Chains A and B, each alone.
Chain A
């Protein structure tokens, strides 16, 4: 029995860890500021800011809510369920003030997109691999 319980507990601990892992915000070098406050970040990811200060369009990138990163983003950044966030973006999209986020299945894809898209800002859980994207400090921290 012990032989089975230990692997199960290990897996559960990994899952919990992964859901609670810290989020990193990266941004394209053009338009996206180097650092943001948590509230600014949330406001941007709620779709309240359509453009950056240089006038470039704000493009949001997120992990799909079916991924751990996506779920983690919902809980940490939005403090809402994935359903509520989806509904939120549905309503925002309907209004048409700002484009809906671009969702990705992997962090690499997300980083690649942000690095190559002007005004793009993305959030994911994991390490930054894209050299052309910059990490946006949140409240002075590289992750939160």
Chain B
């Protein structure tokens, strides 16, 4: 809760004024009343003593002047209620062994009433006793005085106290208001000015004519604001200079950036060009791998075409001879053979045509980018053979066992067949490379084996290409999918095969390509392709 300076000052002054008021209204009258009563009691006591002395002189010297004077004096007191003379009688018992003192009221003034000697003071009556002792008698004077005058004086005191309290309260509150005005107003002005300064208005100035600490504070505040303004102006000027400098530097920097950007763009273009060339080189490398295999593949149908063509030529010669001989049955048999051979020639010719088309498709720089339903098992098998025969064409001594396990449930899947074929070819080429590498180590009982298998797993197709080579060390395994990383000798690998394969599977088909290996035992590359890519 926010309590302002003005309120605090007023509350403080009010508290002080209230304290004074309570003191002057309650404590002071009470104190005065007690003092008044005490003084009055003392006065009455003195009067009683004076009377007692007068009585004592009267009894002992038969001089009643003093008693009369004292009585006359006491009687002048309007508050006097009674004066009683009490005789103290000593009463002995019958055998004079003990005694008691009895009070015997001899006379009371005024005589209308009699008062017991046991009477004590009350709020309305003050009782004072003064003893005396003479040879004639022992006694005491009991004086009863009304407290009416005291009460009236106490009332006057209370009234006076009330008036004084009211005056104190009024004066105190006026002082409080004056103080709060003289203190809180300058403070509030300072607060407002400080707030304006905080909001950025450095023209704020506090006007204070007081010659006290608050006035000095106002002057100090104004000086401070002036200093801040000067400093602010200086800072703004410096800031402008900095902005100007920064702008010129930015301009220079932008020029540099533009120049560097142009250089970088050029570098990027060069890089992209180089990358395209590298990709093309990789394609050409794989094409090179294929060429031998394709040549071998084409050789077989060509051999068939040639052989059956030669056979047909011989059969035509025989047919001509049999026609001349009129041997129709033989002619018919020869024609049938010719037809069969022609079918085989056409079959092998088409096969060669397919191989050539595939080769052309593989060597094409830009694919159509349209995925088509493709028989994964056929694709895998075709590239297995191409890869194997390609390697065999280059290295006649190479031989390896090929194991296949195709899951017929796989069926067709929408893929870019030439891209997936390139991946399979790349993985198989690597597999053949490593088993050949291990074979050349002449390990006893080692039989190079490359396996290709497919399997349908829920909504994906899994292609596993395994070899029984030396496996891949862990530190190499972490880098095999990095571009330009290769363990092959210089000139034998671009280092882009697995990197491009990874991109084709993951980015091109939303699949996954990973390797599982065990050093000394072999490696399995697993390609997972989703049906809905």
Contact = CB atoms under 8 A, between A and B. Distances in A.
B62 A103 contact: yes
Nearest to A62: B62
Interface in A77-120: 83, 86-87, 89-91, 93-96, 99-101, 103
A45 interface: no
A93 B71 contact: yes
B68 A93 contact: yes
B107 A95 contact: yes
Contacts of A124: none
Contact of A91 (B68, B106, B136): B106
Interface residues of B, number: 20
Contact of A96 (B58, B75, B106): B75
Given A94-B83, A100-B64, A87 B106 contact: yes
A87 to B, nearest CB: 7
Contacts of B83: 94
A99 B64 CA distance: 8
Q: Which of B72, B107, B111: most chain A CB closer than 10 A?
A: B107
A7 B122 CA distance: 66
Contacts of B59: 86-87, 90
B55 interface: yes
B127 interface: no
Given A94-B109, A95-B109, A86 B71 contact: no
A65 B85 CA distance: 22
Contact of A87 (B64, B72, B111, B136): B136
A64 B87 CA distance: 22
Contact of A83 (B55, B58, B137): B137
Contact of A90 (B67, B109, B111): B67
A86 B62 contact: yes
B contact face: mostly helix, strand, loop, or mixed: mixed
Interface string A36-77: 000000000000000000000000000011100000000000
Nearest to B85: A94
Given A83-B137, A93-B68, A64 B109 contact: no
Nearest to A83: B136
B63 interface: yes
Contacts of B106: 87, 90-91, 94
B67 A95 contact: no
Q: Which of A66, A90, A91, A100: most chain B CB closer than 10 A?
A: A90
Interface string B55-83: 10011001110011001100100000001
Contacts of A96: 68, 71-72, 75, 109
23 contacts: A65-B62, A66-B62, A87-B59, A87-B87, A87-B106, A87-B137, A89-B58, A90-B55, A90-B67, A93-B67, A93-B68, A94-B55, A94-B71, A94-B83, A94-B109, A95-B107, A95-B111, A96-B71, A96-B72, A96-B109, A100-B58, A100-B64, A100-B68
Given A89-B64, A90-B64, A91-B107, 20 more contacts: A64-B62, A86-B58, A86-B62, A86-B136, A87-B136, A89-B62, A90-B55, A90-B59, A90-B85, A90-B107, A91-B85, A93-B58, A94-B83, A94-B85, A94-B106, A94-B107, A96-B72, A96-B109, A100-B67, A100-B68
